Amino acid sequence: MTATTPPTPSAPEPEQEIQRFGRDETTRPATDIATHEADAPLLAPAEQGPPVGAAFRLAGTHRPQPLDSRVLVVFAWVTALGVVGLAVALRGLAGISAGADPSWYQPTLAALGLGGVGLMVAGMVTGQRRHVRLPWILLGLATVPVAVNLLLTLTAL
């Protein structure tokens, strides 16, 4: 029989100093922070502004919810714009299929329709957050291309 020697425990590694930073409280070793401290000083959470896309995030469980009546009015406005836009699109499709449309009508209908839909989506997403005026401004702007499309469809076809 051969004698086996028990494994020797390795020396414990010295604990690294950990420093917390940023909003999400992630950690990095203090030595890593010290090497980059002069390049990019860390700001306190109160000094950092909101992210650029914060207005367009959907409301979640950790974010405050807007009033139900406000969301209802925003969604009713978007629904009304969508119904009018759908009626204009169907009438435009019938006119295009019949060949009764002027040459400028198709690109104008498409451009104004896409712009209106984009503004409606932006107004709906911001309506789910606690912005005071932004949803109303976006929905007001979304009403313009829908109304222009309605007037152009009524006069051109």
Q: Which pairing describes strands 18-21 and 26-29: parallel, antiparallel, or unpaired?
A: antiparallel
Domain ranges of the chain: 68-156
Confidence grade of residue 12 (pLDDT, cut at 50, 70, 90): low
pLDDT digits (tens, 9 = 90+) for 13-40: 555 444 455 544 455 555 544 454 455 5
3 state SS of 149:
helix
User: Looking at residue 6, what is its pLDDT?
Assistant: 64
pLDDT of residue 128: 67
130: helix, strand or coil:
coil
Predicted confidence (pLDDT) at residue 157 exceeds the cutoff of 60: yes
The pLDDT > 90 percentage for the chain reads 40
Choice among 30-34, 45-49, 60-64, 83-87 with the minimum mean pLDDT: 30-34
SS (H, E, C) 1-15: CCCCCCCCCCCCCCC
pLDDT digits (tens, 9 = 90+) for 56-69: 665 555 655 656 78
At 69 the pLDDT is 80
Query: What local confidence, expressed as pLDDT, does residue 54 receive?
Result: 64
Residue pLDDT, tens place only, 136-152? 999 999 999 999 999 99
pLDDT of residue 129: 66
Q: What share of the chain is helix, strand, coil (3-state, %, to 5)?
A: 55, 5, 40
16 versus 9: the higher-pLDDT residue is 9
pLDDT tens-digit series, residues 118-132: 999 998 888 766 667
